[in-house]
Structure 1
Amino acid sequence: MANREDKLHIAMFPWLAFGHMIPYLELAKLIAQKGHCISFISTPRNIDRLPRLPPNLSPFINFIKLPLPHQKNLPPNAEATTDLPLDKVPFLKKAYDSLLESITHFLQSSNPDWLLYDFAAYWLPDIARNLGIPNANFSIFIAAALSFVGPTSVPDYRKEPEEFAVPPKWVPFPTTVAFRLFEVLKLAGELNGEDDDNDNVSAVERIKETLGGCDVIAVRGCMEFEPEWIHLLEDINRKPVLQVGMLPTRPTINDDDIDNDDYHKWKPMKEWLDLQKAGSVVYVAFGSEAEHSQAELNEIALGLELSELPFFWVLRSTRTYGSTRLPDGFEERTRGHGFVCKSWAPQVNILGHDSVGGFLTHAGWSSVVESLQFGRPLVLLTYSNDQGINAKVLEEKMIGHIIERDERDGSFTREAVAESLKLVVVKEEGKIYRDKAKEMKPLFSDMDLQEKYVDNFLDYLITHRQRPKVEDEKVI
């Protein structure tokens, strides 16, 4: 616990996506355990959908509900990206930007010691500076992804899609980390700073503004995993880069938690997993926001079948394509060695089960962390955002294998899926992926190391809790 005089009040403002809100909440809980107070700011419906806090932390985390301003093109009750098809997300960004006035009033009245904000709030650094509040851009993206954006002080030389498909010029060390061409084409204006909607601000421009305007950069990561990228991020932005650790999540259900409703949903899943051989099962899940078409789903399904490996597949409807249909006869043919779950499933519990030998994933970083804390190797099938960079980092470290795809349209075959799964889970030549993933387990699951990173982060915040008033600052 912190000394009374060293206790902080930290405000947090994540982007309206659960892949962002959950890591923010995990960090909030770790900070609250040290006796500091958190104001966690989001919209009412999002806060109501967050996991419940442990009773001992409730006094330290205060949820601040700011109603989302109305946008005419935003469906009712849509407050997070998971509530929307992809083409509606720009309207959510506009609504998020409209929170400027209400969050300014909150910061004025509460006067926190520090403000942590996400990439999307590009307008918030100036507000914090005017209010004299020290602030950090806390990114759920890894340092490699932020470094790929480039220096914020100079215009980006990259204009053509092909220029984003190679390592940028400011990377001084050998690397293969870059987007693949189909990923660049899919991201389109978000990378070159020109949003299709001229009234909106692209993701890259938001990232550049928040990186350029913050006092310090905080990243979900640690020096032991990507030291070269952390040093590069510090060099190109000319400001401190603080690591908060990997923020691993713990299993949500205990075997003796029989009064928990989720336990009864988990029980048949666990019973099926218990029947499988250790290290034999492919766990398949693409997060809550990955968008695969019917054709892509068919190739995934038939690739699983062709691999002849037992699999546990969490299959969700997509926001854009809606319900997708499994190939005719697939469930009948795979019954016994395949488990298809079309509702909620406890991902951390599944990945922690001894029968799981590999994870077919979209390379979202939360899923990567959850997998590697149990030493599970990865088969990577990316869809959007930072996933392409994550996948190349994992491939370069031989922790994950990227499924072969057409470089221009991103299409892939069932044969490529099957071969990748067999390589990573069972083949002798894929043993390096299994071994490297096991090597990562201590790094991603060590709670003592996680505590050290949070302690170091808080020491910095305590030491730098005061900043000069705007009128006292020198113009550089």
Structure 2
Amino acid sequence: MADNTKLRIAMFPWLAFGHMIPWLQLAKLIAQKGHEIIFISTSRNIDRLPKLSPNLASFIHFVKLPLPQVENLPENAEATMDLHYDDVWYLKQAYDRLQEPMKHLLQSLSPDWIFYDFTAYWLPTIARQLDIPHGFFSIFTAAVLGYLGPPSALINRADHDLNTPEDYTRQPKWVPFPTTVAFRLFEARRVFHVITGDESNVSDFYRIGETLRSCDIIAIRSCVDFGPEWLRVLEDIHRKPVIPIGQLPTTADDGGEETGTWRWIKEWLDKQEKGSVVYVAFGSEAKPSQEELTEIAFGLELSGLPFFWVLKKRLGPADTKLIELPDGFEEQTKGRGVVCTSWAPQVKILAHDSVGGFLSHSGWSSVVEALQFGRALVLLTCFADQGLIAKQLAEKKIGYVVPREEGDGSFTRDSVAESLRLVVVEEEGKFYREKAMEMKGLFGDRDRQNQYVDNFLNYLESHRCLK
């Protein structure tokens, strides 16, 4: 006889590891409560996800859907990290062809709930046809989702006078309190093609708008102690349940067994003074241009600070735009800095006492990982929602944004060096370090995170359709 007290939850994240990893983190937290998770993705992505601990393996079931082939999508490119940013359109086209396989899968699985990402704007229709309760799980924070606004602003931009990149640099009219959270002009220009779409591509804003309009509930990676005013904006504009599920912090143990890579990194970090090292990383899907890389490198050199840089020279095999360090850079900084071009255990590095600051792209997972250890943030955005995240962190004095030219986003090695020294060592920037330590209690609180998951599950249990 089935245990009707336990939930069976299907999860379908977007094909980006910046999405799949926090989704998997939520899946683990739910599985620890004894509920069953059906985690759906493509074959290659599932094979690349971190391995489950034995105590969770019987609760989380991975289901592989073959990714349909589309023209211009390279073979084996199943995640955004396999492609250059400009080619992600093709991955979305392939993803949209999963509608029929997904419908058949859900018919056979008959879960209590299905949660989907912003890209699967077509999935609510399928869920309604099959009478499955369904929700949008947003890894975008409450501030980001609040800035984007109601479905009408996302689907019919012209009706809200949102026609040019400049229109996205202003405070939205649906936000009732003063805020600086908005794109800078160069950030709006970089994402404008995903805001508008074209004849062959559904825009990201349309996807988000339709997903928000059609879902039963919105589960969001946020907490009421960090930006509660933005959660109220979401409740006001969407008029449906908005449930914060916490920040989903990872732990140093989530990376699996200690590896030879971590051993040599730890040996180097152990030799550095406490709070002196700048950790530099831009996530799995962000990559600076060659010009930006050069300025970052010379900025690190000019700063005089020890650094550990995890550098991705290309995003994946299909990314032909290789970036290279300036000639002689590694020789000039030998002994003071390390450049690692392979995988590195970010959480373990950030947990090390020698790390004093983090030069980051502002991806929210990286921000959470840094703040749970009280690491000060220097922010250098690349694309997507990173500019909005950086603005909120700067507004709260939690992070310092590297000064840039508003029109094209260019910056200098001097601005990089000055920003790093300000945040990591100078007296004038001490409050950034103090604020980051203050956030440690909020972002690293396991008991608080556990309570968010309990509240979320209580809602799902009371609103499922008992079959």
* 2:276 equivalent among 277, 280, 302: 280
**445-454 or 80-89, larger mean C-alpha shift:** 80-89
Aligned residue in 2 for 1:290: 286
Distance 2:75 2:4 in 1: 45
Q: Is 2:207 aligned against 1:206?
A: yes
Q: Give the Cα–Cα distance (whole angstroms) in 2 for the partners of residues 289 and 181 of structure 1.
A: 22
On the 8 A contact 1:133/1:467 being kept in 2, the answer is no
Asked if structure 2 preserves the Cα contact closer than 8 Å seen for 1:289 and 1:318, the reply is no
Aligned residue in 2 for 1:72: 71
**Structure 1 residues 158-167 or 294-303, which shifts more?**
158-167
Partner of 2:222: 221
Distance in 1 of aligned mates of 2:76 and 2:167: 39
Q: Select which of 171, 175, 192 maps to 1:171.
A: 175
Q: TM-score, normalised by structure 2?
A: 0.96
Residue pairs, 1:415-426, within 5 angstroms: 415-426=414-425
Alpha-carbon distance, 1:151 to partner: 1.0
Structure 2 letter corresponding to 1:444:
F
In 1, distance between residues paired with 2:4 and 2:121? Answer: 32
Query: Aligned with 1:6: secondary structure?
Result: coil
Q: Match of 2:128?
A: 129
- Shift of residue 140 of structure 1? 0.5
Q: Hey, which bits of structure 1, 4+ residues long, moved more than 6 A?
A: none
Instruction: State whether residues 423 and 430 of structure 1, in contact with CA within 8 Å, keep that contact through their aligned partners in structure 2.
Output: yes
**Contact 2:42–2:64 (8 Å) recurs in 1:** yes
- Alignment check: 8 A CA contact 1:134 1:467 kept: no
> What is the aligned partner in structure 2 of residue 472 from structure 1?
none
Partners of 1:198 and 1:437 in 2: CA distance: 45
Q: Are 1:161 and 2:153 an aligned pair?
A: no
Asked whether the equivalents of residues 283 and 359 of structure 1 are also in contact (C-alpha less than 8 Å), the reply is: yes
Distance 1:321 1:169 in 2: 41
What is the TM-score of this pair, normalised by structure 1?
Answer: 0.94
Q: 1:187: which partner in 2?
A: 191
Q: Partners in 1 of 2:148 and 2:314 — Cα distance?
A: 28
- Aligned position for 1:474: none
Aligned to 2:59: 60
Give the corresponding residue for 1:406: 405
Question: Is the counterpart of residue 85 in structure 1 residue 84 in structure 2?
Answer: yes
1:243 aligns with 2:239: no
- CA 1:340–1:275: 2 relative to 1, 3 Å: same
CA distance in 2, matches of 1:396, 1:199: 38
Name the amino acid aligned to 2:248: L
* Whole-Å separation in 2 of the counterparts to 1:263 and 1:40: 27
1:171 and 1:141 mapped to 2: Cα distance? 17
Q: Is the 8 A contact 1:10 1:114 kept in 2?
A: yes
Q: Compute the displacement of 1:5 (Å).
A: 2.8
In 2, the alpha carbon distance for the partners of 1:41 and 1:305 equals: 44
Shift of 1:153: 3.9
Moved more, 449-458 or 182-191: 182-191
8 Å CA contact 2:43, 2:64 repeated in 1 = yes
CA distance in 2, matches of 1:358, 1:321: 31
What amino acid is the match of 1:414?
A: R
Write the deviation string for residues 228-250 of structure 1: whole angstroms up to 9, x where unpaired: 00110111111111011110011
Distance 2:269 2:110 in 1: 50
Segments of structure 1 that go 5 or more residues without pairing to the other structure are 469-476
Deviates more, 1:79-88 or 1:213-222: 79-88
Quote the residue 2:309 is aligned against: 313
Structure 1 position 152, deviation (Å): 1.2
Cα distance, 1:294 vs structure 2: 1.3
- Identity rate of aligned residues, in percent? 63
Instruction: Tell me the SS of whatever aligns to 2:252.
Output: coil
For these two proteins, the number of residue pairs brought into alignment is 458
**Any conservation in 2 of the 1:252–1:346 contact (CA below 8 Å)?**
no
Which residue type is aligned with residue 190 of structure 1?
A: V
Partner SS, residue 69 of structure 1: coil
Match of 1:473 in 2: none
Question: SS of the residue aligned with 2:151?
Answer: coil
TM-aligned CA deviation for residue 253 of structure 1 = 7.5
Are the structure 2 counterparts of residues 253 and 8 from structure 1 closer, same or farther at C-alpha, using a change threshold of 3 Å?
A: closer
Residue 428 (structure 2) aligns with: 429
In 2: Cα distance, 1:466 partner to 1:168 partner: 37
CA contact (8 A) 1:12 1:38 kept: yes
Structure 2 contact 287–312 (Cα < 8 Å) conserved: no
CA distance in structure 2 between the aligned counterparts of 1:149 and 1:367, rounded to whole angstroms: 22
Q: Where does residue 304 of structure 1 map in the other structure?
A: 300
Please give the secondary structure, in 1, of the residue aligned with 2:54. coil
Quote the offset at 1:467 in angstroms: 8.8
In the alignment, what sits opposite 2:231?
230
Does the 8 Å CA contact 1:362/1:381 hold for their aligned counterparts?
Answer: yes
Deviations 1:102-146 (A, max 9, x none): 010011111110011000001001111111111110011001111
Residue deviations 1:321-365, cap 9 Å, x none?
633221121111111110111111000000000000000000000
- Specify which of 264, 267, 270 is matched with residue 263 of structure 2: 267
> In 1, are the aligned partners of 2:394 and 2:400 still within 8 Å (CA)?
yes
